[in-house]
Amino acid sequence: MAKKKKVKAKARKAKSRVKKTVKRPKAVKTRSRKVASRKARKVVKKMPEITLEKIGEVTHYFPHVKAAAVLILKDSLSVGDQIYIKGHTTDFKEKVNSMQMDRVSIQIGAKGQEIGLLVKKRVRIGDSVYKV
């Protein structure tokens, strides 16, 4: 009887060593590269060119009131203008809703003035301000 038990144990070990293989279906090529690239070209639409004109630079940021001090280097900026603020980690557009100079609301900021702008996100010193 002892011999039968050993034979059964060996048979069990042999079964566990067998590896199961699963056949995977091959990838089916649906389109050639030329056809795919032609379709990709059709999808790409020409975006209207946006002219950006650098008008200022951020000199300070006030986090409590979410305001930026901007030195106007060129042209002028008025309430209602669309601006684009771009920096190392900053990148957003917004409409100028409020401008101040020496704690007094103003409608137009001219070249050489340092004005305060309400901004929706954090800006950093040195970020560029563009007029869209």
Domains in the chain (CATH in brackets) are 53-131 (2.40.30.10)
- Is 121's pLDDT higher than 90? yes
List, in sequence order, the alpha helices (H) in the chain.
2-17, 33-43
pLDDT in tens, 50-71: 778 899 999 999 999 999 999 9
Q: How much is the mean pLDDT over the chain?
A: 82
The 3-state DSSP class for residue 77 equals strand
pLDDT in tens, 6-51: 655 555 555 556 666 766 666 655 555 555 555 556 555 665 677 7
Q: Region 69-87: what's the mean pLDDT?
A: 95
pLDDT grade for 113, boundaries at 50, 70 and 90: very high
The answer to whether 129 and 57 have CB atoms below 8 angstroms apart is: yes
